[in-house]
Amino acid sequence: MTAAHSGQTLDAGADPGGGRAGRASARIELSGVTRRFTSPTGKVFTALRDVNFTVEPGQFCAVVGPTGCGKSTTLGMVAGLDRPSAGSVRVGGAEVDGITEGVSFMFQQDALLPWKTVLANVALGPVFRGVGKKQAQASARDWLGRVGLRGFEDHHPHQLSGGMRKRVAMAAALINEPSILLMDEPFGALDVQTKAIMSNELLGLWEELKPSVLFITHDLEEAVALSDRVVVMTSGPGTIKGVYDIDLPRPRGAVQEIRFEPRFLELHHQIWESLKDEVQRAYADTGGTSGTAGVEGASGSSGSSGRSKPAGER
Amino acid sequence: MAITSQSKERQMQTPDQIRSALQSEIAADEATVTARALRQARKRKLQVNAGRALLGVLVVGGWQLFAQWKIIDPFFFGQPSGIVRQLVDWFQHGTSFGSIWSQIGVTMEEALLGFVYGVLGGVVLGVLLGQVRFLADVIGPYIKIVNAVPRIVLGSIFFVWLGLGTPAKVLLASVLVFFVVFFNAFQGVREVDRVFVNNARVLGASRLQITRHVVLPSALTWITASLHVAFGFAVIGAIVGEFLGAQQGLGLVISDAQNHFNPNGVFAAMVIIAVIALTAESGISFLEKKLLAWRPPSSTEVAGI
Ligand SMILES: Nc1ncnc2c1ncn2[C@@H]1O[C@H](COP(=O)(O)OP(=O)(O)OP(=O)(O)O)[C@@H](O)[C@H]1O
Ligand SMILES: [Mg+2]
């Protein structure tokens, strides 16, 4: 393997947001956020408790944490789809009330409309915002080209592969040129190679538009490789366990190669130490007897296997 | 197949040549598979059609012969030949209420109007109640109450209100249609995937846009499924309405035949209604195909290849 250690000065990259703090409207602040759910039987369940963290404008922030710790719930509240039971979610200094302005959301589940063609799906954003149909389609065509799907305009989602659908979803999310991009395990179901390609595509597009990104993933390697900041959450009820600034220089270049940098390994190890306990606890809580074997295995070879999910998980 | 010689050849070729050779091989394979599938499909279709024809001949022929041999009494059960004679008579000389075409026309008009109004009402109200929780909670129980009333009884009230003309029958037919479509539309709206709605909301859709781009298309599977049954109900509404009292229409023709102990007349009218219903059914199937063209082909269709 070519350990691309090119002697960069690693302390130079500690400028999250790439110095473009101009779009203050894209700052995300969660303070004291708690979210409780009431089950139909009247039992109250606390999914999130006292969550505090900030995403600076233009920053790429990854959120990692064991399954069921409330990551998707957090994202929903930033988008304005859901309200905290206590605490405040602020975007650009204003309390979130209704759908947040300038936000795009890539959902964990498939959200492409099966009855619309790929082109019509991507064009939805502009169409909803009142752009003329012709113009919306032209820009959708353009975005499909950017994610490498030219020629698939007239296909329906069920005719595409899983990876292609994710790319369509990415184009559909980016076409509105969001100032905030929320991504919920966007590449979770993809194979390693496709994931690497799409991560690189995402980084390229992010550097072009510089939105603030909140990126949920189970893959710690992916989190470290892509982001400026990694937020580690505890198992349920979810709280913030730690926030790690990733001082790897930008542009990162190929995601597959950066993971051999010593600083990368150092950060990965540091965060993994923090995450490991939570993953084990969550696994034990949800009925797994002892997650230790699988989890330890994943931690040992941080260079090859980045799946920080316990083996028995969903 | 001389596989070894082929692979030896391949070693001499550039990757591009290999790929193009492979591609033509694959194309040839696909062509044979397609041809075979087509042949099989055609053969199956032939067998099915032959089976159908045979069954029809058996039933109709058996009926004809049994009636002729007096095993069943043609006075009560009619006879295919009698039915055909009756049909010919109607189409040549008309019924006692005017030409058969005008009877068909009257009934069709009532059924179609009832169908259209019922479907419109069912879809609009179903989609509305499906989306607005408050309305559903308030109106829901009343809809259930009305639904529990035997709807044919409603026909009597409609006659009191509207008299013996077309409107009463249209209303009866549309009420029958309404409930079928309403419950399907309502359920269809309730089943819409939350993720689709949330996605549209984040993309900036208004309530109306969500209804148009997400809710309606999603509920359309349910709604179109109900249309098949609904048209049947529309015809029932029209005919029953004519039974209850009318000056024209197929229902009147049937009740007239019944009063004259003419089973052939009843059966003949049934044949006409069946033809109408089948025509409408194929029209609805066509519409369904058009509306739901986006759906992945069902497993049976794929299995054909
Ligand atoms: N609408 C809801 N009603 C009740 N409980 C909910 C609801 N949504 C989420 N929860 C609960 O809140 C917790 C957090 O859910 P969430 O989907 O945010 O987890 P997550 O961190 O995204 O998990 P994963 O990584 O598996 O996607 C879970 O225990 C879940 O059962
Ligand atoms: Mg989730």
pLDDT, tens digit, 9 for 90 and up, residues B75-106 = 888 899 999 999 999 999 888 888 999 999 99
Domain-terminating residue out of A122, A141, A175:
A175
pLDDT at B12: 67
Estimate the share of chain A in helix, then strand, then coil, as percent rounded to the nearest 5: 40, 20, 40
A5 pLDDT higher than 70: no
- Cβ atoms within 10 Å of A167's Cβ, excluding its own: 26
B33 CB-near residues (< 8 Å, 6+ apart) = B305
Domain annotation covers residue B297? no
What does the block give as tokens for A22? 């101009």
Ligand closest in space to the Cα of A35: 1
Q: Is A279 in the same domain as A132?
A: no
A292 pLDDT higher than 50: no
A296 C-alpha vs ligand 1 centroid, how far in Å? 25
Nearest residue to A202 (alpha-carbon basis) of A229, A173, A231, A176: A173
Q: Is A162 in the same domain as A53?
A: no
B129 pLDDT higher than 90: yes
Yes or no, beta carbons of B202 and A116 under 8 Å apart: no
Domain count, chain B: 2
- Cβ atoms within 10 Å of B202's Cβ, excluding its own: 26
pLDDT at A295: 45
pLDDT at A276: 85
Is B165 strand, coil or helix? coil
A275-285: pLDDT as tens digits? 888 888 877 77
Choose from A106, A128, A154, A185 for mutation: most chain B CBs within 10 A.
Answer: A128
Query: How far apart are the C-alpha atoms of A4 and A37, rounded to whole Å?
Result: 48
Is the pTM above the cut of 0.95? Answer: no
- CA distances to A250, A281, A291, A312, A314 from A287, in Å: 42, 10, 10, 10, 12
| Percent of chain B surpassing pLDDT 90 | 64
DSSP characters for A228-277?
SEEEEEPSSSB-EEEEEE----SS---HHHHTTSHHHHHHHHHHHHHHHH
- CA distances to B124, B151, B289 from B186, in Å: 9, 20, 22
Substitution site in A35, A48, A69 for ligand 1 pocket (most atoms within 8 Å of beta carbon): A69
Q: CA-based angle A98:A99:A104, to the nearest 5?
A: 170
What does the block give as tokens for B20? 């193009």
A183 pLDDT higher than 90: yes
Q: Residues A175-209, buried b or exposed e (16+ Cβ, 10 A)?
A: bbebbbbbbbbbbeebeeebbbbbbbebbebbeee
Mean pLDDT of A18-40: 77
A312 vs A67, which has greater pLDDT? A67
Sole residue written with tokens 């066509």:
B286
Going by pLDDT thresholds of 50, 70 and 90, the confidence category of residue B7 is: low
Q: Tell me what ipTM this predicted complex has.
A: 0.81
Chain A residues 125-184 with a CB less than 8 Å from chain B: 125, 127-129, 156, 158-159, 172, 176
Q: How far is CA B205 from the centre of its chain?
A: 34
Going by pLDDT thresholds of 50, 70 and 90, the confidence category of residue B5 is: low
Q: How close does chain A come to B68, measured CA to CA in Å?
A: 57
Q: Is A54 in the same domain as A133?
A: no
Amino acid at B200: A
Domain annotation covers residue A155? yes
Q: Is B214 on the interface with A (CB under 8 A)?
A: yes
Residue B209 has its nearest CB partner, among A115, A128, A172, at A128
Query: Residues lining ligand 1, judged by CB closer than 6 Å?
Result: A 37, 45, 47, 67-73, 108, 236
Q: Is A61 in the same domain as A120?
A: no
CATH code of the domain in which A94 resides:
3.40.50.300
Q: Is B37 in the same domain as B112?
A: no
Choose from B198, B199, B302 for mutation: most chain A CBs within 10 A.
Answer: B199
Q: Is A240 in the same domain as A208?
A: yes
Q: Is B133 in the same domain as B28?
A: no
What does the block give as tokens for B88? 């010919």
Yes or no, beta carbons of A99 and B214 under 8 Å apart: no
pLDDT at A312: 36
Q: Residues B13-42, buried b or exposed e (16+ Cβ, 10 A)?
A: eeeeeeeeeeeeeeeeeeeeeeeeeeeeee
A176 CB-near residues (< 8 Å, 6+ apart) = A102, A104, A125, A126, A129, B203, B204
Atom nearest to A38 CA in ligand 1: 4
Yes or no, beta carbons of B201 and A115 under 8 Å apart: no
Going by pLDDT thresholds of 50, 70 and 90, the confidence category of residue A9 is: very low
Strand order in the sheet with A229-233: A103-106, A180-184, A212-216, A60-64, A229-233, A240-245
- Which residue segment(s) compose the domain that B199 sits in? 76-291
- Cβ atoms within 10 Å of A219's Cβ, excluding its own: 22
Mean pLDDT of B157-177: 91
Ligand closest in space to the Cα of A38: 1
pLDDT at A215: 95
Domain-terminating residue out of B68, B84, B110:
B68
Query: How far apart are the C-alpha atoms of B253 and A27, rounded to whole Å?
Result: 77
A108 C-alpha vs ligand 2 centroid, how far in Å? 6
Looking at residue B297, the DSSP 8-state letter turns out to be: P
pLDDT at A13: 37
Residue A176 has its nearest CB partner, among B201, B203, B209, at B203
Q: Is B109 in the same domain as B63?
A: no
Nearest residue to B292 (alpha-carbon basis) of A162, A158, A140, A163: A158
Atom nearest to A75 CA in ligand 1: 18
Domain-terminating residue out of B68, B85, B105:
B68
Q: Is A96 in the same domain as A119?
A: no
Yes or no, beta carbons of A109 and B195 under 8 Å apart: yes
Using omega within 30 degrees of 0 as the cis cutoff, is the peptide bond preceding A237 cis? Answer: yes
Going by pLDDT thresholds of 50, 70 and 90, the confidence category of residue B305 is: very low
Query: How far apart are the C-alpha atoms of A28 and A213, rounded to whole Å?
Result: 10
Q: Is A273 in the same domain as A186?
A: yes
- Cβ atoms within 10 Å of B111's Cβ, excluding its own: 31
Q: Is A98 on the interface with B (CB under 8 A)?
A: no
pLDDT at B11: 61
Going by pLDDT thresholds of 50, 70 and 90, the confidence category of residue A305 is: very low
Query: How far apart are the C-alpha atoms of B41 and B38, rounded to whole Å?
Result: 5
Domain annotation covers residue B304? no
Going by pLDDT thresholds of 50, 70 and 90, the confidence category of residue A288 is: low
Q: Is B200 on the interface with A (CB under 8 A)?
A: yes
A23 vs B33, which has greater pLDDT? B33
Going by pLDDT thresholds of 50, 70 and 90, the confidence category of residue A93 is: confident
pLDDT at A16: 39
Yes or no, beta carbons of A104 and B204 under 8 Å apart: no
Mean pLDDT of B110-120: 96
Q: Is A35 in the same domain as A57?
A: yes
Mean pLDDT, chain A, whole residue set: 82
Domain annotation covers residue A297? no
pLDDT at A2: 39
Rg (CA), chain A: 19
Q: With contacts defined as CB-CB under 8 Å, which chain A residues touch B213?
A: 113, 116, 124, 127-128
Domain count, chain A: 2
Chain A residues 109-128 with a CB less than 8 Å from chain B: 109-111, 113-116, 124-125, 127-128
Q: Is B81 on the interface with A (CB under 8 A)?
A: no
Q: Are strands A28-38 and A44-55 parallel, antiparallel or unpaired?
A: antiparallel
Which of A199-208, B50-59, B67-76, B240-249 has the highest average model confidence (pLDDT)? B50-59
Q: Is B43 in the same domain as B125?
A: no
B65 pLDDT higher than 80: yes
State which H helix or E strand residue A33 sits in: strand A28-38
Residue B294 has its nearest CB partner, among A107, A114, A176, at A114
Amino acid at B69: W
Q: Are B297 and B118 in contact (CB under 8 A)?
A: no
A189 C-alpha vs ligand 2 centroid, how far in Å? 13
- A96-100, B68-72, B298-302, range with the lowest pLDDT: B298-302
A217-228: pLDDT as tens digits? 988 989 999 999
- Which residue segment(s) compose the domain that A127 sits in? 114-175
A294 pLDDT higher than 90: no
Mean pLDDT of A158-182: 91
pLDDT at A189: 77
- CA distances to A182, A247, B62, B119 from A20, in Å: 19, 16, 88, 56
Closest chain A residue to the Cα of B204, Cα to Cα:
A128
Yes or no, beta carbons of B204 and A105 under 8 Å apart: no
Q: Are strands A212-216 and A180-184 parallel, antiparallel or unpaired?
A: parallel
Yes or no, beta carbons of A99 and B296 under 8 Å apart: no
B60 pLDDT higher than 90: yes
* Ligand 1 atom 23: residue of nearest CA: A68
Helices B250-259, B263-291: crossing angle, 10 deg rounding = 160
A247-287: pLDDT as tens digits? 888 888 777 788 888 888 999 998 998 888 888 887 777 76
Backbone angles phi, psi at A89, to 5 degrees: -115, 120
- A105-109, B12-16, B246-250, B282-286, range with the lowest pLDDT: B12-16
pLDDT at A309: 37
Q: Which residues make beta-bridge pairs with A117?
A: none
* Ligand 1 atom 30: residue of nearest CA: A68
A164 C-alpha vs ligand 2 centroid, how far in Å? 21
pLDDT at B298: 62
DSSP characters for B9-78?
HHHHS-HHHHHHHHHHHHHHHHHHHHHHHHHHHHHHHHHHHHHHHHHHHHHHHHHHHHHHTTSS-HHHH-
Domain annotation covers residue A276? yes
Sign of CA dihedral A241, A247, A251, A256: negative
Domain annotation covers residue B142? yes
